[in-house]
Structure 1
Amino acid sequence: MDIPSFRLGLALDGVGWHPAAWRLSSVTDPAELFGSRYWAGWGRASAAGGVAFVTLEDGLTAQTEQFGSVPANAESRVRGRLDPVVAAAVLLSASDVGEVVVTRNVTHTSPFPVATQLASLAALGPGRVTWRPQVSANASDAVVVGGAPTPELRPDDIYVPTRIARRLRDLFRDAEAFVGTVRDLWTTFPADALGSGDAFWRPSRVETLSGPAAGPLNVPVFAVPPVATLAHHALEPYRLAAAVADRVFLTPTRDHPLDVLIRAFREVEALTPDATTTEVYADLAVVLGDSDEHARERLDRLDGVAGSPWTTDTGIFTGSPAKLAELLNRWRDEHGIAGARLRPAVLPEDAERVIHDVVPRLA
């Protein structure tokens, strides 16, 4: 079998994905996380280290470990983030990062501004921007924007696929329509509508749509961003990915290994009307160390500071960079995945190990 090149990505968020990351990170000034130097630095480091893409998170409310809950020691944890469109603009303009995957909420926003934002970023970095539409399952998000209440996804629900499907079916249907509308809007103002010579623009090339998002966009579309989705092991996220995504991030765990997830996703994809083949990527949280034992010690310390073991919506790899590279190479060879997105537990420590010790070991 002809194995394609493997693309590794870093999921950037705050100072890392572990709840206690702030307490143990070498970053000590909160203002750094909202400044351009921090994000531009990660763009340059990723590009220089052979990282294929970075992803940026979105959120309407402050980060929490569980839906709707705020821990007692919230002041010791990162709360709030720079808008991902702003961070992406910094990354694209101040670094040679190969690709930025920009997360944008689709439950409590409108297609027109999202289409405009992504088209603007794509003009800044043609071929370097990907959109990740995000469904909001946090009922408190609606309170922030004054939107319609959404079905409440309780903490235990994320471990039961049938509950996700039952509670969020309508949200995922709306998300599919949202992505379709954005893509339609991207056709309303093609770049060749801009004229040349005596004609500043060609009105005949600008179109309108029927429906609430009539368009046309107020910016020209120089490049159409591909779409990536994060799909947990449940029917509705898989169906959305099959229907609209060019790339899907699957979340393997001990109970749901990667081969099972790929098989389940391909079955859903085969039953989805008008679906095209979607590239599959693995999505994994990582705690790395100089050795497997050192990595476990780091995780134990992080969990001790946080006051509870780290639980996430995907698997947590704890070990050496060599072992992580071995796992990724095996997944690539055995399952043919196109790449992986890694969520560093702590920035910069775990991301630096990925760049310097994992990337060079990937076949």
Structure 2
Amino acid sequence: MPLREHAHLAVALDGSDPQEFLRLAQRAEEGLLDFVTAQDGPGQLDPTLLTGLAAAGTDRIGLVPLETTAGDPSVFARRITTLDRLSAGRAGVRPRVATSAADHDRLVGLLGTPEGDLLLDGLFEQAGEFLARADRSWGAVRPPVVALAHATAVYRFSAAHADVVLVTPTDTGQLVAIRKEVDTLAEEAGRPPGSLRVLADLNVLLGEGETFDSDAAVFIGTPDALADRLQEWFEEGGADGFRLRPADAARDVETLVAEVVPELQLRGLFRTSYPDGSLRSRLGLA
């Protein structure tokens, strides 16, 4: 596990409105966050184009869109390289494994079975081959690859191909176990110690009146209580940092920047200024 002075902190933003995405990215930058991620889905816009807009309206925060590992890997690489140039080295990418609708439905029905495990392994093996070809287009310097992982097959893919892995523990004990598994798989993949950052995903609701289900743990409470959770997961769980998923982006990002970040700074858990350099260097990646 790498030496960790401060926690890394990111926030997930949806892409339903370009100007709101830009405003929230700017507010996150005011809070000194490492990066924002851009999603896609029903009613949402192209994540890479949205982060391109944010590149022109921000100066320091990292920008990590979701891109599907399909088609020509050189085109995939060129889109992210363009974002990296637009943002002066602040781009990353979160690859999403490409599946047909039929394969996706079949996989969902087989999750947790031996047949499902084989299908999942095959999909991520293909995604790894795709990223290896994209790497050749990027050359010696590439934007950080950020992978969302829920299971061993995805941990294995992340250990071999990613720079940052987003994991979804439910409690501190599970986070410890996931961190150990990811580090073991990275060692087996020949990665040098400290070459992979592990960030815990956490849904946050810093207000009242909402509930929701998710693939990641859900936190509902006060800013101080959220700081307690993040401190526990950083100091005892082995997380290098966190990606927070706000239930209400406009409200929760504001509370995160105005109240949670200052509390983490008071506890010595988060930086008080942006370091110079690219997103890779800020994450401590070679």
Same fold flag (TM > 0.5): yes
CA offset digits 1:39-87 (Å, max 9, x no partner): 22112111112222100113xxxx4xxxxxxxxxxxxxxx321101110
Q: 1:49-198 to 2 correspondence within 5 Å? A: 49-58=31-40, 63=41, 79-106=42-69, 108-136=70-98, 139-140=100-101, 152-154=106-108, 157=111, 160=112, 165-187=117-139
CA distance in 2, matches of 1:356, 1:344: 14
Report the alpha carbon displacement of residue 156 of structure 1 after superposing the two structures with TM: 8.0
Q: Which residue type is aligned with residue 92 of structure 1?
A: A
Name which one, 1 or 2, has greater alpha-carbon Rg: 1
Contact 2:37–2:64 (Cα < 8 Å) also in 1 = yes
1:49–1:155 distance in 2 versus 1, CA, 3 Å? farther
- Structure 2 spans left out of the alignment, 5+ residues: 270-286
Contact 1:285–1:343 (Cα < 8 Å) also in 2 = yes
Q: RMSD between aligned alpha carbons? A: 2.4
Report the alpha carbon displacement of residue 284 of structure 1 after superposing the two structures with TM: 0.9
Question: Given the two structures, how large is their TM-score scaled by the length of structure 2?
Answer: 0.83
CA distance in 1, matches of 2:116, 2:178: 16
Report the alpha carbon displacement of residue 325 of structure 1 after superposing the two structures with TM: 0.7
Paired residue secondary structure (1:96): coil
Q: Which residue type is aligned with residue 64 of structure 2?
A: V
CA distance in 1, matches of 2:228, 2:168: 18
1:344–1:121 distance in 2 versus 1, CA, 3 Å? same
Report the alpha carbon displacement of residue 161 of structure 1 after superposing the two structures with TM: 8.0
CA distance in 1, matches of 2:22, 2:202: 24
CA distance in 1, matches of 2:258, 2:129: 41
Are positions 1:358 and 2:271 aligned together? Answer: no
Give the structure 2 partner of residue 311 of structure 1: 213
CA distance in 2, matches of 1:9, 1:255: 19
Q: Which residue type is aligned with residue 279 of structure 1?
A: R
Q: Which residue type is aligned with residue 341 of structure 1?
A: R
Are positions 1:45 and 2:8 aligned together? Answer: no
Runs of 4+ in 1 over 6 A off after TM superposition: none
Q: 1:239-258 to 2 correspondence within 5 Å? A: 239-254=156-171, 257-258=174-175
CA distance in 2, matches of 1:340, 1:50: 14
- Structure 1 spans left out of the alignment, 5+ residues: 15-32, 64-78, 143-148, 191-222, 290-294, 304-309
Question: Given the two structures, how large is their TM-score scaled by the length of structure 1?
Answer: 0.66
Q: 1:274-293 to 2 correspondence within 5 Å? A: 274-276=190-192, 277-289=195-207
CA distance in 2, matches of 1:321, 1:103: 28
Give the structure 1 partner of residue 142 of structure 2: 224
CA distance in 2, matches of 1:319, 1:334: 21
